[in-house]
Structure 1
Amino acid sequence: MMMHPEQVRKIIAEGIACEHLEVAGDGQHFEALIVSGEFAGKSRVQRQQAVNEILRQHFNSGALHALSMKTQTPAEWSETRG
């Protein structure tokens, strides 16, 4: 079963409070920009582990193969946008 980017976006949004969330992909490989205040004080690895945990059952079932993610706090996101 292939997943649609909107399904991945919905699962992430249900698992973590997001200020901004973008998901793109082809059904197997996805890219996400996840902006959440919950990332404050966490390392890049800790942030990715939190997102991977939300999606774990989908990775384990084979529905989701690869997710490349950029995780930022609202302040970091604001800085990158200038």
Structure 2
Amino acid sequence: MVTPESIQQDIASNMATTHLTVTGDGQHFEAIVVSQEFSGKSRIGRQQLVYKTLGDRMKGEIHALSMKTYTPEEWAQASN
């Protein structure tokens, strides 16, 4: 079974993040990912980086993953 914790672990294991949270009900998940790796990338480019960390899980196990992606600087502004 897919859990928010297992998704969070996969992202954290494959990408340097400064903030990461994943919530969900077992089918639909939402992630907030903050990473310097997003610098200079479009929203789609950022999502592709996260999808890459999850590999084949996105093709079967994870039915829906919405995400908010930020650079550390964007996150600092959004958190104020």
User: Into which bin does the TM-score normalised by the smaller protein fall?
Assistant: over 0.9
Q: How does 1:1-82 map to 2 (within 5 A)?
A: 2-60=1-59, 62-82=60-80
Alignment gaps of 5+ in structure 1: none
Write the distance in 2 (CA, Å) between the matches of 1:26 and 1:19: 24
Normalized against structure 2, the TM-score is what?
0.95
Task: Report the 3-state secondary structure (helix = DSSP H, G, I; strand = E; otherwise coil) of the residue aligned with 2:31.
Answer: strand
Encode CA deviations 1:23-72: one digit per residue, 9 max, x unaligned.
00011110000000110111111000111122131022x21111000000
Q: Secondary structure at the match of 2:23?
A: strand
**Structure 2 Cα separation of the partners of residues 28 and 55 of structure 1:** 15
CA RMSD of aligned residues (A): 0.8
Tell me the amino acid that sits aligned with residue 9 of structure 2: K
Counterpart CA distance in 2 for 1:78 and 1:67 is 23
TM-score by length of 1: 0.93
What is the rounded CA distance, in whole Å, between the counterparts of 2:44 and 2:8 in structure 1? 20
Structure 2 CA distance for aligned equivalents of residues 4 and 49 of structure 1: 20
Moved over 3 A (4+): none
Query: What is the aligned residue count?
Result: 80
Q: Which amino acid aligns with 2:67?
A: M
